[in-house]
Structure 1
C-alpha cells in the first residue's frame, strides 16, 4: 500500500534529537571571577548563535533545563531564567521575549555552586530564530534583604561575551569589559539544555499540523473566563503518510498561546471521527488524553506569542484501523479566571474548530463549529501532535529525510541488523542508472518536482522478502540568485544615509525565471517588506545588509535565502574650506588669489577638483595660482569635488574677499624733557598716539617699529633711543584681515626746568585744624627769576589749586596738608620738574580749667592753678585788673575772669584764651514745708532759699536732688536741706497725721493694735472707736498703744469700725477701718 507524503520535514530518523547544551563556559567548575553586586536588580546574560550548536532555522529548539552558578545565596533566593530572541544588531535592537521560569537557590556560601532549573513548561524557540539571549535575573526580595549579597560566578576560561544590565546604572545590555569598572573575565556560568524538533517531519516520527510554518501570531479568536473552551483540528492520517496498516503513537503536542492571565490549564484529547464530523461526533469516541498542564502567565501588553510543548506522560495509541482523528485542546482552570487566548499562524491549509463559551448563540456553543462560521476566519489555531508510526505487519520500515534545501534525499530502512540486502527503486526514471541502489542508506537526487513511488525490496537474514513502498511528493526549495551590492551616494555629508538606492531590478535578479514564489525582504533593523520601496532609504548607517527570503508560494516554510549590502558612499568632505582674503594694496577692489593649496587639500582619495567663477565660468588649472576676482571686493567661487571611484560629488562655496586697507592718520611730533642735556628723554607722552592714528576705526591693532624696522613697545612715557631726534614707524593692522597702513611719529627732546623745594609752612589753629598761610612769595621761592616756565599746584587728590594759592591761603586738610608743585617747560608739558611741601597747623596751648568755680561765703578766697609748661600767662578780673602772670592765681571776688596763655612752636607763637566765673554760695534755708495727710497719696515738699546746689532728706540719712517725697506714711519727720558742696544745712520738724486702713489683732506681733499715726504730737488728742451701729467701743489718748480689738474683754468680730479724732479745738476728723482676724 502506498503512503502519500509531503516532503517538508526535517531529519525524519529522529523527531526529538539528542540533548544539546548551549554554553560558552570551558569546564564545569565555577569560580568567583570578580563580578560585583549591587543593592538593585541585576540581569546577567549570555547570547547564543543557534547554528554554532548545530540548530538550523528550520528547527525548533525546545529548552527543558538550565544552569547558573552563584555564591553568597540564602535559602530560597529567587533566580529567574528568561529566553529572548535577538538579531545581529543586538544590543542596539530590542530582544523579543520567548519564555521563562524561576527557580529557588539553596543556601550557598562563599564558594560558588551550580543552581539548576527544570522548566515545567518547556520553552520552545521557534524556527527562523538565529540567536537567543539567556538572561538570569537576581530579583528583588522584599522579605529578605540578603538578596543584595548574591554574586554571579563564572569559569576560568570562556569563549564569548558576558552581558550585564541593572543596578539602576546600565539600562541596556553592556559587555562586562565595558562597564565603568570593567570585569574582563566575568565568564558568567549560564547555560540551557534542550533538543531540536522539526515541526514538519515524517517517517517513523510524524507531526500532524495544518499550520504553515510556526510563526505564531495573535488572532481575533475570543476567550472567556472559567474555562469552557475547546479548540480543535481535524487530521486525515493518510494525508500524513500513515496508512491503514500502521498505528500512530502520539507522545507530544504543541499549542500556540498569545496571552493568558494565569491559572489556565490545557489537556489534549484525541478522538476518532468519521467523514460526517461534526454531526457524528461523540465523546464516546475518545481515544486518549494527555495530563492536565498549567500554562504560565503570558502578558498581552508586549504582543508576544509563545509555543508550549506538552510531553504526554502516557503516549496515546491511534490504532491502524483509524483513518481520521480530532485533536481537541480543552481549557481548564486551577485558580484565577482562566482566561487564555490561542495563537495562530498567518497561513494554514485546513479549518479550525471550536466549541464552548461564545459571544453569540446565547453565550455557549455546545457542538463544534468552524471558527469562520462564528466570525473568526483568521483564527488558524496553532495545534499539532507528534508521534511514531509503526507498521503492524512489516518487520522493516522505510525512513526518508528531507531538509527542503535540495532534491537530494536520504533513505534508510530500520532494523538494519536483520537485513541481508536492500534493492531501492526511486521511481525516477529520468535519473537513469541512479534510479536504483543496493546501499542500506542511499541518497537520491530527484530530477524534478513531482510525485514518486519509492520501493525498497528487503531480504532479511532469514531469507524472507518484504517490499516497502512510499509515495512521496518532492518539492525542491526555491533557487535564490545572488544579488550584487548596491551603492549610492549619501544624501548629506557624514550622515551615512541615502534615499537613492535603486531597488527596481532586485526582485527579477533574485527570482530569475522562477514563478510561484513569495519574496520577503528583511532590512538591517529587522523590518520586513513584501516589496522593497524604490528608491530605498537605508535604516543602518553606512552599510546595511538586506536579507532576501524566497519561499514557495504553496509552502512558505520551504525557502532559500541570500543577502546583499546597501553601501552608502560618502560625499567628499568640504567642511574645511574657508574664505580666502587678500589685501587691496592698490585700493581698486581687485587682487590676485592662489587656489592651488585648496586644490591640493581636496585632491586626495581619488578626488577630481573643479573651480567656477560666480558667472559659471570654469577656472582652468593653469590659472589656479593667480586667480583675479571678476567682481569688485568680493566674489563667490564654487568648488566641486568628485570621487573618481564612486562618482559621488559634493559642492560648496567659498569667497574671494578683497579687504580694504585701514587708515593710519598723521601724527604731530612729540617733545620729551631732557633732564641732563644728553639728548635722551624718558618723558615722551604717548598717551594719545594710538587714539590719533586710529581715529574712529575699531578692531585694529597698532604696532611700532624703529628706524631699523624692528618692532618696539611704545611705552608711556617713552624714552627715545636716538639722541635729540628720532622717527618711529606706526603700523595700523586690521586684525580680522591682517591688512595694514603706516605713518611716522617724530620725537624731539627739550630741557628740564631746575626748581627749589619750598620749606614747610606753619600756622596757628583757627578752628578744626585750619590755619592761615601767606603763600604770596611761593612761586619766587620755587623758580627764582627763571622764565618760560609754568608753575602749578595740586592737592593730594591731584586737584589743581593753582588759583587758590594767595597770601591768605587756608588749608583744606586739617592739621597737615601736602601741596604738590609741578613746573613745566612752556614748550612741552612733559618737560617738567616736581616737588612738594607741607602746610602744618600748630595746636593751640590747652589747659584744664572749669567754666565756673564756687566759693562758700564762709571762705575768704579760692586758689586756681593750670599747667606750668607754657611761655606766658595772664589772669585778669572782669574790671581789667591783672590778678597773676604765673600758672596759678588767688580768686577773691565773685565775678567773671579770663586766662590767656601762649606757646612758641615751630618758630611761631600761638595763644589761647579761657573765660570762667567765681560764684560765692549763700547758706541754704527752709522757707516752708508743704505736705498732704490722711490720704492715699501723702507727700512732703521742702521749699528752701539760697543760690547753691541743694539736696533734700526726710530722715537725715538718704538725700535726693528732688525736694518732693511721695507716698509717705503718717508720723513725725525732721526734714533737711543741704548744699552739695558742703556750704551749710537747715532742718525742720513736721507731723503727718494718718491711720492704718485695717489691723489684725492675732497676737502674732504684727498689726495687733490700731492707732492714729502722728497723734503723739497732740497731747490732748482723743480718739473714739465705734462699731457699725454707733456704739462706743474704745476711747484712747495720744499716749495709748492703741485698740486691741476687744470690748469688755471679748474679741470683736471681723467688720468695719468707725472713729472720730479730736486733735485740738481747731482740728478733728473721722474715718473707718477694718478688723481682720
Structure 2
C-alpha cells in the first residue's frame, strides 16, 4: 500500500453480531492495534471509532461519519524501516460502543506534523488471510472513503491490520454484577438543556436499589460510571459522587450524606453534537452499605481551565426523573438556588432523560456466593451461574417454572433454562460449598419471549417515469400485520434506505433509492423498546419497457387533400426487435385503436397532421409506457413556371457566361419555403445547386434545364423547365479624356451632356450607368456641368447593359482632368518710398498672355514685367493654353508710397524711481527708435533712463527717412561711496549741464550746510572742513534759477 505526505486514513468495518456482541450489549473498547510496514516520524496517529448505518460510505458533507464514538491518540508515528511492526495502544479511557449499534468503523488517522521536517509517509501493513474490505482515503483525489480495490492504483489484497479489543457488557445484567440505569436503551441523543461557561453543574439520577434486585442484606460496590456528553469546550472534567438519599429527596439532600466519589476525569475538547458515552473506571470502588435503600448518582462537571463547557446527553426511552443543580435558571422561568436540586421538568425539559448509570458488584453481607443471570432480551433461553465456582460442591436450581416439567430443576453449575411463558419468576439456587455449608440464593427475573419480526416478501411496482427507477405506487398496506404475525403489545418501526423512520409505512409508498431499496422493520416490546428483532424486505422498481422517442412520420400528399396512408408496421417491428413479452398498440388522436391488420395502410383522420399514441406493455410485469408521435401529410411542392433567361454572347459563338440565375429559386418556389432546389440537364445528370451566378450554358444558343423543387423531410418534389437563350454583347467606344480649368482646389465643371452618345454610338436598348472608383453609382449626377469629386483627376467607369439581358455588359472608362491655373509669386502689398520715382515688378515669362491693369482701367503693360508709378490698386491677368484648353488667373495687389518719419513729440519722466522717454512720430512706414543713435528697438518707449542729455531718433526700417531731437532728464544718484576706489566717489545732480547758473546746496540731517556746488564741478566728495562725513542720509536743494526748484536726499556709504 502506498503513502504520501498528506493526511491519510486507513479503516476497517466490523459487524458486531459477527463477533458475538448482541444488540443489548455494550462494547467497551480498551485497546487497539495497527501494523506498519514502514514509517517516518513526521506525522501523528490516532484511533477513531464511528458507528455506521446503511448509508456507509456516503455521508452528508463529510468524509467520515458524523457519529464519532471516540478518538484516542497513538502519538507520533514511529520510525520503522525494517520488518513490519504491530503498534499496540492501551486506551487511558475506553471508547463505549452503545448497545444497539450494529456496525462500527475503526479508522487509524494519520495527521501531518507541519512543524516536523521529517517525512510524513506512513505505510500500513496487512495480513495474508482476510475476510473483510479495507477502506482508504488520503493520497487519492476522490476525497471519499474508497475500498482499496477501487483506488486509482488498486490494491486488491491490502488487508489492513487494524483491530480493537474490549469487553462486552449487557446493559440489562443483574446478579453479582448489576448496572443501575433508568435509560432503557443506549439510544443517546442531545437533551437541548443549556450549559454554563466557567460554572460547575451537577447532573444526577436517583435509584432505589431494591428495584435492581439489591436487598438490604447486600452491599453494592460501584466500580464504574457512565455519562453521555456532547459539545465540549476547553477544558471540562467530570467526577461521580454517590449520596445516600431518602424519600424526601430533593428537599432532604445534603452534601454531608456523601458516600464516596470517583476521581476527576478530563473530557476531550473535540466532542461535537454527536453524543458520546464517557466511562469513568473508579480508581477506588465506592461501597454502598447494605442498609442503604436509595442513592443519588451525581455527575459533577468541573473545570480544569478555559470555559469548561459540556452538555449532557440523554436517551429516547427512560423510566425515571433527571435532576440538576447549578445552571438551572432560564430567562422567564422559575428562579432556583444555585445549590438546589430540581428536576429537569421544573425548568422546561421533562424529557431530558439524562444518560447516567453506574455498574458494580452485589455482595451479600452473610452469604459466600452470588447468583448471576444473563437476561438477554432477544433470547428466551436464559443462562444462570454462581460466583465463586471454585468453592461450590453442588448446586440445585429451581427456576420457579413448574410448567416446564422436569426442566424446572437443574443441578448444573451454569445451566440454561427455556421458560414456558412470559412472566415473573423467582429463581432459587441451593448451593453446597466445599466446606459442606449450605446457602440458599434467591433472585427475581422478568421473562418475556423475544419479539419476532416475521419475514416479508419483496414488493414490486412499476416506475412512474421511464428510466428514473422511482415509483409512487408501492402497495405496503399489509406489511404491518405481516411483520407482526398476530403478536400484540409490540412496537413496529420501519427504516427506509436513507434512514427515515416510520411507525406505519404510508401506502402507496414512494421509494427513495433508485431501482431497489431495502426497508428494515424492527419489532420491539412495548414496555422494553430496546429489545427487538429485525427483518428486511426490498422495494423493487420494475422498469417501464424501453421505448425511445419516436420520429414524426411524413408522407407526400399527391392529391392535395391533406389525407394519405402511412405504414406503421415497421415502427412496431423495430420496437419488438424479436421480443415475445412486449405488446404494441397504436391509437388515433380520437382514442380509436388501430388494428394490427391495418398497420401498413393507416390513413390519418385529421387533415394534414394527427398525433398518434403508442402503448408498449411488458406482459411479464404489466408495466407499460406510452409515447406520442405525429403523422404529417406534406403537400407535394409546386414548381412554378420559369421565365426564359437571356445571356450575353460576347463573340457570337452561342455561349454566354452571363446568365443571371439569382431569381430562379424565388420564381420556381413562389411562396413555398423550406424546400430544396436541384437542377438536371436533358440527360438527367445533376448540375450544381444552386446554379452558379452568372451561369455559362453548355448548349449553344438555347439550353433546357430541369428544375426540381423537393421537400427535405418527405422527399416529395415537382419539376419544371428552365430555358437559357443567348444574346449579343453591346459594342461601345472609349471616350477621350475631358479637360476643364481649375475652379478651386483641383475641382471644376465638366460638360458630359453628350457622353452617352459618344460611348454607345447611338445604339438602342442599352442601359448606361456610371460609377466612381469606389463603385458608387453616379449615373444621376452626370450632366452638362458635372463637378468632379476627386481633385485634379478622376476616372469615370462606364457600364453598358443590353436592356434585354442585364448580365450582357460591356465596360469602359474615361478621365476627367483639371488643368491647373497659371501661378505667379505676387505680394498683396508693395511699398515705395516717397523718395523713389517708380517700382519695377516682373513675373515668370513662360505664360502665353499678360495684362497689368491700374485701378482706373488703364493698361500698364502686356508683358511679364511692368514699371509702376502711381500708388493704388493693380491687377495682373496671366493666361496659358494646356491640353488644348486656355486657362487664366488674376492676381490683385496694392502699391503704397511711404510718408517720411517725423518726431512730433517727446514725453518723459524725471526725478523718479523709473524715468522713461517716449518718442511720438508721424509717418506710414515701419519705424524703429533709439536714444543713443546706435541701439534701435520697435517700441517707442525707453524705461529706467538715467538723468542726462539725450538725442532721440526715429527711422524707417526700409530706409525711407529718419528724424531726431534732443531731450534732457534731470536726476540724481540715491547714494554714493567716497572710498577712493574710483567708483561713485562723488555725488552730483545729473542732466543740468544746460543750466550753467544752477546752484546746488547739501545739508546734514540737522540742516547744517555742508557744500555749495555748481554744475561744472565733479560733485561733493563727502568731506566737510577736510574731514570725512559719517555714513548717513543728507539733503539737497537745487535752484535752476531759470526753472523750478527741487529738493531730495541721498545716502553716504563708506
TM-score by length of structure 2 reads: 0.80
Aligned equivalent of 2:458, options 465, 470, 485: 485
Instruction: For residue 652 of structure 1, report the CA deviation from its aligned partner.
Output: 3.9
Query: Paired residue for 1:529, among 474, 482, 502?
Result: 502
Q: CA 1:1043–1:383 in structure 2 vs 1: closer, same or farther (change >3 Å)?
A: same
Partner of 2:661: 686
- 2:167 is matched with 195
974, 995, 1001: which one pairs with 2:971? 995
Residue from 997, 1002, 1005 that aligns with 1:1020 = 997
CA drift of 1:120 comes to 4.5
Matched pairs, number? 1021
Partner of 1:632: 607
User: Aligned pair in 2 of structure 1 residues 814, 138: CA closer, same or farther (>3 Å)?
Assistant: same
Q: Is 1:656–2:631 an aligned residue pair?
A: yes
How far did 1:293 drift? 3.5
Question: 1:53, CA displacement in angstroms?
Answer: 5.3
2:1046 to 1027, 1051, 1070: 1070
Contact 1:407-1:447 at 8 Å conserved across structures: no
Distance in 2 between residues matched to 1:1071 and 1:400, nearest whole Å: 145
2:802 is matched with 825
The alignment status of 1:122 with 2:94, answered yes or no, reads yes
Distance 1:289 1:780, change over 3 A: closer
- 1:290–1:882 distance in 2 versus 1, CA, 3 Å: closer
Pick one of 9, 14, 37 that aligns with 1:49.
14
308-317 vs 113-122, which deviates more?
113-122
**How far did residue 233 of structure 1 move?**
1.2
The equivalent position to 1:813 in structure 2, one of 790, 803, 807, is: 790
The verdict on how the C-alpha distance between 1:976 and 1:277 changes in structure 2, with shifts beyond 3 A counting, is closer
Deviation string for 1:875-909 (max 9, x for gaps)? 86866465867xxx585856788777666655656
Preserved contact between residue 477 and residue 560 of structure 1 (Cα < 8 Å): yes
**8 Å contact from structure 1 (residues 237, 243) kept in 2:** no
**Secondary structure, aligned partner of 2:213:** helix
TM-superposed deviation, 1:215: 2.0
Tell me the equivalent position of 2:277. Answer: 307
Matched, 1:612 2:587: yes
* Stretch of structure 1 that moved more, 249-258 or 677-686: 249-258
Identify the residue that residue 1038 of structure 2 maps to in structure 1: 1060
For 1:282 and 1:990, the matched residues in 2 are separated by 135
Provide the residue aligned with 1:644 in structure 2.
619
Which residue of structure 2 lines up, in the alignment, with residue 254 of structure 1? 226
**Which range is displaced more, 558-567 or 286-295?**
286-295
Q: Which segments of 5 or more consecutive residues in structure 2 lack a partner in the other structure?
A: none
- The counterpart of 1:87, out of the listed 50, 53, 57, is 53
**Offset at residue 751 of structure 1 (A):** 0.8
- The offset of 1:482, in angstroms, is 0.7
Q: Which runs of 5+ in 1 are unaligned?
A: 1-30, 38-42
What is the alpha-carbon distance in structure 2 between the residues aligned to residue 384 and residue 579 of structure 1?
Answer: 74
Question: Take 1:308 and 1:456, find their aligned partners in 2: how far apart are those partners?
Answer: 36
- Residue by residue, what CA displacement relative to the aligned partner does 1:277-334 show, whole Å, maximum 9, x if unpaired? 99999999977553344455697x83x4432222122345668x66956363352634
Select the residue among 205, 225, 229 that pairs with 1:231: 205
Q: 1:464 to 1:722 in 2, by over 3 A?
A: farther
**1:706–1:413 distance in 2 versus 1, CA, 3 Å:** farther
1:997–1:1073: 8 Å Cα contact kept in structure 2? no
Go from structure 1 to structure 2 and tell me whether the alpha carbon gap of 1:35 and 1:617 turns closer, same or farther (over 3 Å shift).
Answer: farther
**TM-aligned CA deviation for residue 818 of structure 1:** 0.9
Deviates more, 1:309-318 or 1:996-1005: 996-1005
Q: 1:796 to 1:239 in 2, by over 3 A?
A: same
C-alpha distance in 2 between matches for 1:176 and 1:1006? 114
| Equivalent runs, 1:792-871 vs 2, <5 Å | 792-798=769-775, 811-848=788-825, 850=827, 870=846
8 Å contact kept, 2:213–2:443 = no
Q: Secondary structure at the match of 2:652?
A: coil
- Report how far residue 548 of structure 1 moved: 0.8
Contact 1:517 1:550 in 2 (8 A): yes
The answer as to 2:298 corresponding to 1:329 is yes
Between stretches 334-343 and 1019-1028, larger displacement belongs to 334-343
- Do residues 555 (structure 1) and 521 (structure 2) align? no
Q: Structure 1 residue 621: deviation in Å?
A: 1.9
Alignment check: 8 A CA contact 1:45 1:133 kept: no
Number of the residue aligned with 1:4: none
How do 1:477-626 residues align onto structure 2 when only pairs under 5 Å count?
Answer: 477-572=450-545, 576-600=549-573, 602-603=575-576, 606-626=581-601
**Do residues 132 (structure 1) and 98 (structure 2) align?**
no
Q: Which string of whole-angstrom CA distances, capped at 9 and with x for unpartnered residues, describes residues 693-718 of structure 1?
A: 45566656555444426242323222
- 2:27 maps to what in 1? 61
- 1:963-1042 matched pairs, under 5 angstroms: 963-981=940-958, 983=959, 986-996=962-972, 998-999=974-975, 1001=977, 1003=979, 1010-1025=987-1002, 1034-1042=1011-1019
Structure 1 residue 146 and structure 2 residue 143: aligned?
A: no
Q: Give the C-alpha shift of residue 968 in structure 1.
A: 3.6
With normalisation by structure 1, the TM-score equals: 0.79
Deviations 1:332-361 (A, max 9, x none): 634578787655444456677888997799
* Matches of 2:390 and 2:930, distance apart in 1: 151
Q: Identify if the C-alpha distance between structure 1 residues 722 and 447 changes in structure 2 by more than 3 Å, giving closer, same or farther.
A: farther
Structure 2: how far apart are the matches of 1:855 and 1:377?
128
Q: Which moved more, 1:186-195 or 1:305-314?
A: 186-195
1:208-235 deviation per Cα after TM superposition (whole angstroms, max 9, x unaligned): 4444222234559898853566532122
* CA distance 1:236–1:373, shift in 2 (3 Å): farther
Quick one: distance in 1 between partners of 2:340 and 2:853?
Answer: 149
The CA deviation at 1:422 is 9.0
CA 1:1025–1:892 in structure 2 vs 1: closer, same or farther (change >3 Å)?
A: same
Residues 990, 238 of structure 1: alpha-carbon distance in 2 compared, 3 angstrom cutoff? closer
Instruction: Indicate yes or no: 2:695 matched with 1:718.
Output: yes
Between the aligned partners of 1:251 and 1:752, the Cα distance in structure 2 is 124
Deviations 1:727-749 (A, max 9, x none): 34445566687766555433221
Mapped contact 2:10–2:135 kept (Cα < 8 A): yes
1:866/1:833 CA distance change after superposition, 3 Å: same
1:753 aligns with 2:730: yes
Deviates more, 1:941-950 or 1:891-900: 891-900
CA contact (8 A) 1:237 1:325 kept: no
SS in 2 for 1:625: helix
Mapped partners of 2:925, 2:328: distance in 1 = 127
Deviation of 1:561 (Å): 0.9
Deviation at 1:617, TM superposition (A): 0.9
Q: Does 1:269 align with 2:233?
A: no
| 3-state secondary structure, aligned to 1:236 | helix
Residue 124 of structure 2: SS of its match in structure 1?
Answer: coil
1:943: Cα distance to partner?
4.6
List per-residue Cα deviations over 1:108-159 (Å, max 9, x = no partner): 889899998765443312112223345678899xxx9738998463415586
Report 1 or 2 for greater relative contact order, CA contacts < 8 Å, sequence distance ≥ 6. 1
Deviates more, 1:416-425 or 1:742-751: 416-425
Question: Residues 53 and 1040 of structure 1: is their aligned pair in 2 closer, same or farther, counting only changes over 3 Å?
Answer: farther
Matches within 5 A, 1:342-491: 343-348=313-318, 363=336, 378=351, 382-388=355-361, 401=374, 403-408=376-381, 449=422, 474-491=447-464
Task: Give 1:817 deviation, angstroms.
Answer: 1.2
Distance change >3 Å, CA 135–CA 1053, structure 1 → 2: farther
CA distance in 2, matches of 1:179, 1:1038: 128
CA distance in 2, matches of 1:388, 1:539: 49
Cα RMSD (Å): 5.3
1:326 and 1:1036 mapped to 2: Cα distance? 140
Measure the CA separation in 1 of the matches of 2:874 and 2:247: 156
Q: Using a 3 Å threshold, how does the CA distance of structure 1 residues 764 and 1017 change in structure 2: closer, same or farther?
A: same
TM-superposed CA distance for 1:178, in Å, is 12
- Structure 2 residue matching 1:510: 3-state secondary structure: helix
* Alignment CA distance shift 1:921-1:558 (3 Å): closer
Provide the rounded CA distance (Å) in 1 between the counterparts of 2:256 and 2:905. 142
Q: CA 1:187 to 1:931, structure 2 compared with 1: closer, same or farther past 3 Å?
A: farther
